[in-house]
Amino acid sequence: MITRLSPARRGLIVTALGSSLTVSWASSYYIPAVLAVPMAETFGLSPVWVFGAFSMAMVVSAMVGPWAGARIDGAGGRGVLMLSNLVFAAGLGLLALSPAPWVMFLGWAIIGLGMGIGLYEAGFATLTGIYGKDARGPITGITLIAGFASTVGWPLSGLMLATWGWREACLGWALIHLLVALPLNAWLPKGTETMAAAARAPLQDGPPPSRLALWLLAFVFAATWFNSTAMAAHLPGLLQAAGASTAVAIAAGALIGPAQVAARVLEFSLLRRFHPLVSTRAAAAAHPVAALALVIFGGPAAYAFALLHGAGNGIPTIAKGTLPLALFGAAGYGRRIGWLNAPARILQAAAPLIFGAALTTWGLSAIWLTAGIGAASFLALLALRRT
């Protein structure tokens, strides 16, 4: 028997999980931008080594994601998410106390374990365990909240760094996990009833998904996150290569966040009436169109590029949770999205290096790399069919 939750309780669940995921993103994915340089200076290293440790954490997260998803399928997500808070706190604490670079690398590896079991994929699987095929709205809801992780995380990390230091900033995030995020996740429903019902009748909605469909969707996610991470790391340099001034490049980059949130609000309101393939296809087309405008018009198109890229970048975060649910159903959902998103995590780790080398070698022409990847993603989505 699947538990029915009131709309008010549903809103509280989305708020609690979205808030806990905000802490998880802010204290892992977004701390290198603020803490990498002082962390490296402490150990007498180049910041490249700290970013390398972070890339290693991304690879670790890709390796443990399928296990976390399978665990959530069987036992619900509450326990896994609570474990992630303890793991994050342990990794951050080890960073704070690290006396040598190898201990710092170990701390990042532990944080990578936390990322594999405590970011969006785990949150999406948890909501699917609670709501089953009706999880699309809650999935969109938590991305609207956690989409502000950088908005919260960067200033807070910077404040703690300026007030105390990078070690104390890591300890501060560890305490936030234990005192804020952990209680929020402990309050969540266990969320096993829907998964159990789906597992008892895995063929009720049709045959198992084809290998081709799974590979196509894995490629779409990997392509999307390669482009997203490449732009996050190199957007100002790319816009300057197109002829924009430094001030314009920075101002245009500031539009990406609002454009992402606006696209997610659109998905949450108007586009929720349509199959997720519709919004995801439109999002995949946005970056190639933006790239074409930048090549044709140069620097004056910087703002248009940022808005189009940002809007196209906002939807896939939701789609990596809603598309597998819409296409393949709730049975085995957690394990499936763990595997589907593993290649994306690995490419995220490599994207800044690959696109940075392309930008250095080719200048503005490097945009054809991401535009081609985006176009291939769009074609892959066209090949996918609704179920």
Domain 211-383 has CATH 1.10.10.10: no
Q: What is the largest CA-CA distance in the chain?
A: 61
When mean pLDDT is compared over 44-58, 96-110, 268-282, the highest value belongs to: 96-110
pTM, to two decimals: 0.81
Instruction: Domain ranges for the chain, please list them.
Output: 9-200, 211-383
**Band of residue 51 on the pLDDT scale cut at 50, 70, 90:** confident
pLDDT value for 369:
95
**Band of residue 8 on the pLDDT scale cut at 50, 70, 90:** confident
Q: Give the N- to C-terminal CA distance of the chain in Å, as an integer.
A: 25
- Tell me which residue of 252, 268, 204, 353 sits closest to 18, measured CA to CA: 268
pLDDT value for 317:
82
Cα angle 48-52-53, degrees, rounded to a multiple of 5: 120
Q: What is the pLDDT of residues 84-94, one digit of tens each?
A: 999 999 999 99
pLDDT value for 319:
85
**Band of residue 378 on the pLDDT scale cut at 50, 70, 90:** very high
pLDDT value for 150:
76
Question: What is residue 274's DSSP assignment?
Answer: S
pLDDT value for 264:
81
* Sign of the dihedral through C-alpha 197, 16, 147, 267: positive
> What value does the CA radius of gyration of the chain take, rounded to a whole number of Å?
20
Residue 321 has pLDDT above 90, yes or no: no
What is the rounded CA–CA span in Å between residue 209 and residue 327?
8
Q: What is the pLDDT of residues 179-210, one digit of tens each?
A: 999 999 999 987 655 544 444 444 344 556 67
- Tell me which residue of 105, 127, 122 sits closest to 71, measured CA to CA: 122
What is the rounded CA–CA span in Å between residue 114 and residue 121?
12
pLDDT value for 191:
64
CA distances from 177 to 123, 160, 172, 258 (A): 16, 15, 9, 27
| Fold topology of 9-200 | Growth Hormone; Chain: A; (1.20.1250)
Q: Which percentage of the chain shows pLDDT scores above 90?
A: 41
Mean pLDDT of 106-133: 91
Q: What is the pLDDT of residues 265-297, one digit of tens each?
A: 888 777 778 888 888 999 999 999 999 999 999
Residue 32 has pLDDT above 80, yes or no: yes
Q: What is the pLDDT of residues 220-268, one digit of tens each?
A: 999 998 998 888 778 878 888 999 888 888 788 778 778 888 888 888 7
Q: What is the DSSP string of 119-164?
A: SHHHHHHHHHHHHGGG-HHHHHHHHHHHTTHHHHHHHHHHHHHHHT
pLDDT value for 86:
97
Q: Which percentage of the chain shows pLDDT scores above 70?
A: 93
On the question of a common fold for 9-200 and 211-383, the answer reads yes
168-182, 331-345, 355-369: lowest mean pLDDT where? 331-345
Tokens (6 digits) for 298: 């140069």
Torsion (CA) 314, 320, 322, 328 in degrees, nearest 10: 160
Q: What is the pLDDT of residues 129-182, one digit of tens each?
A: 888 888 888 988 888 888 788 778 888 988 999 999 999 999 999 999 999 999
Residue 96 has pLDDT above 60, yes or no: yes
Residue 25 has pLDDT above 70, yes or no: yes
